[in-house]
Structure 1
Amino acid sequence: MSGQGPEVEVGIIYTGERHFMTPLIASLAASDGTDNVGLILVDNRSADGTGDWEQTFPATQVIHNEQRLGYAENLNRILEASTARYILLMNTDMHFDVDSRCVSRMVEFMDAYPDCGLASCGIYHPDGNYAHPARRFQTIKTIAARRLGMEMIFPKAIADYLCMEQDHSGTVDCDWVSGCFMMLRRETYEQVGAFDNRFAKYFEDVDMCRRVSQAGWRVMINGAARCYHHEQRGSKSVLSRDALLHLQSYLRWISKWGFDSGQSSRRAA
């Protein structure tokens, strides 16, 4: 850690998912230590507060929301509070292997690729299956396959969307990365600005990655680092509230970027 604070700060939004939060904080501390990592906790009007985790990392900031905010708004509160060279934005439903050094390896990766503005690691489900964090922008065929049960009709669209041809342990460029784990370079954030709050939920990560690429930075996956995601996929059911929010965000994405989003990150590392 430098004399001015940690090089990376991990930002986490807490709304009350204690059964996820406790193993996340414990595994983060065990895998990367507590001296070289800073923590920014957003208490999003939770009922029980973040007190149990505020002493785990010496460099800890706690942001208390006066009212419950949306995901993009909370991410922006983390970005505004951070002073580190790198900001890692994470969901609460994540955990690390004790010996993974995931965050440290991500810092090393960002240092090794100075033209990378935003990156993620290899993300796996708790059962060991790969979660495909590298994505390409969605097409009409992708939407039909994922939302309308047409996987058998458009299998290539799904394979292309999930970058299935890529080496899981390798270093690759992609159009966007899953918002559950995003490491953002400070210079990149200062250039492209905050998350677009108009995306109430979903596509805020896709939009940020698109803007990062548009500004000339690379969006990448470091397969040599890994963590685990207890993926919820609240929008999987087409009749759910989350599915409606997903559709609304997708329509906003189209109105902002059009159907041809510009798949600009196909080059190999």
Structure 2
Amino acid sequence: MSSSNVSVVIVTHNSIPVLPAALDSIAASYATGLVSECFVVDNASSDGTADWVRARHPWCRLIADGGNLGFGRGCNAGIDRASGTYVLLLNPDATLPSADLRRMVEFLDARPRAGVVAPAIREPEGELQAAGGLLTPMALVKEALGVPAHGDLRTIQPGDPPFQTSWVCGAVALLKREMLEQVGGFDPRFFLYFEETDLWLRARSAGWQVWALGDAVATHENAASAKTTGEKLYAGCIAQHYFESRFYYLCKHFGWPAAALAELAEIGVLMAKAAARALQRRPDNTFRVRIQAPILRAPARGAPQ
């Protein structure tokens, strides 16, 4: 049996409806010693999340003094204080049974260059989270055109053998501390979206492996905190943060010219599709929503509030 211990980091924002289930799932691992500590980083919730954690889960270490840090910065606040061999990133709307967490720990224990492992993740309607599909400028254009863009994209099926991949969902992921010490934590310029994509790419560039493990299964409600903001969502995402983070990610890893050309090409394809649909009297608002969102703009430097 593994002697490694896990530090859990949960970043919350108005998460009262979903957080109890997440903490209950971790409490079982805490009771057995598999989890050594749990950090709840509260991003300026207005629904009493911080007070609820203090009252109901005093075994958790609450961090609630930094305003709204966003996801990556919030995770960094917990990671910087964590002492475990591994760090489990767990969304407040996700649950991970103790036995499944143990399988993930044992998996990383057995593979020296495995830096990240994610379980199969069930969404509310039974759909499964996919792995792979790393975003590139060419993939962005292909997605807009509606042609296959990712040869490695596949769902993580419960019970499937483990497989290496380019990307896993950051909602439930176990990270090796040794990897974080080498490549660093999340880039603080990402407020929301693409922060884990950037981290996994940096890790793989440094020789670490990203794995999917079907023998472990988690649940995830998906975007529970984002849905409480009341802000307009684009394809399920908060448009400003999504497109600014996406452009920054593409610039950072592929250069400004490639990022700009890909984004402008995407907009051109969406405009052509909108015109064709209008002629067919089948209009939709995808193009209109896209051009109202940030274009060729990265997130501002400095801590967002």
TM over 0.5: yes
Query: Are 1:34 and 1:56, in contact at CA under 8 Å, matched by a contact in 2?
Result: no
Give 2:173's aligned residue. 182
Tell me the equivalent position of 1:138. 135
CA distance in 1, matches of 2:161, 2:121: 12
- Structure 2 counterpart of 1:220, one-letter code: W
In structure 1, the partner of 2:118 is 120
- The equivalences for 1:146-157 within 5 A come to 148=144, 153-154=146-147, 156-157=148-149
Distance across 2 between alignment mates of 1:54 and 1:119 = 30
Pairing 1:1-269 to 2, within 5 Å after superposition: 7-30=5-28, 32=29, 34-36=31-33, 37=35, 38-47=37-46, 48-54=48-54, 60-96=60-96, 101-132=99-130, 134-140=131-137, 142-144=139-141, 148=144, 153-154=146-147, 156-157=148-149, 160=151, 162-163=153-154, 169-232=160-223, 237-238=233-234, 242-258=238-254
Query: Does the Cα contact within 8 Å between 1:121 and 1:224 map onto a contact in 2?
Result: yes
Name whichever structure is richer in helix by fraction.
Answer: 2
> Which secondary structure does the structure 1 equivalent of 2:115 belong to?
strand
Change in Cα spacing, 1:256 to 1:12, as seen in structure 2 (3 Å) is same
- Per the TM alignment, residue 222 of structure 1 is displaced from its structure 2 partner at its CA by 1.2
Task: Say how many residue pairs are matched.
Answer: 248
- TM-score under structure 2 normalisation? 0.71
**Rg larger for:** 2
8 Å Cα contact 1:138-1:161 kept in structure 2:
no
Question: Is contact 1:29–1:56 with CA below 8 Å preserved after alignment?
Answer: no
Could you tell me which runs of 5 or more consecutive residues in structure 2 were left unpaired when the two chains were aligned. 260-305
Contact 1:105 1:225 in 2 (8 A): yes
User: Contact 2:43–2:70 at 8 Å: present in 1 too?
Assistant: no
Give the CA deviation at 1:58. 7.7
Report the equivalent of 1:267: none
Amino acid at match of 1:211: R
Partner letter of residue 111 of structure 1? D
Q: What corresponds to 1:265 in structure 2?
A: none
Q: 1:232 to 1:62 in 2, by over 3 A?
A: closer
Q: Please list the CA deviations of residues 46-76 of structure 1 after superposition, one character each: whole Å capped at 9, or x if unmatched.
A: 2314344457778532212242212111111
**1:87 Cα deviation after fit:** 0.3
Please report how far the alpha carbon of residue 114 of structure 1 lies from its aligned counterpart in structure 2 after TM superposition: 1.8
Tell me the distance in 2 between the aligned counterparts of 1:55 and 1:102. Answer: 28
Is the CA contact 1:72–1:195 (under 8 Å) kept in the aligned structure 2?
yes
Length-normalised TM-score, structure 1: 0.80
Q: Give yes or no for contact 2:15–2:49 (8 Å, CA) kept in 1.
A: no
Amino acid at match of 1:192: V
Answer yes or no: is the 8 Å Cα contact 2:87–2:174 preserved in 1.
Answer: yes
Superposed CA RMSD: 3.2
Per-residue CA distance 1:197-256 (angstroms, 9 max, x = gap): 112211110000011111111111111001011123969954887123222112111211
Contact 2:72 2:188 (C-alpha < 8 Å) held by counterparts: yes
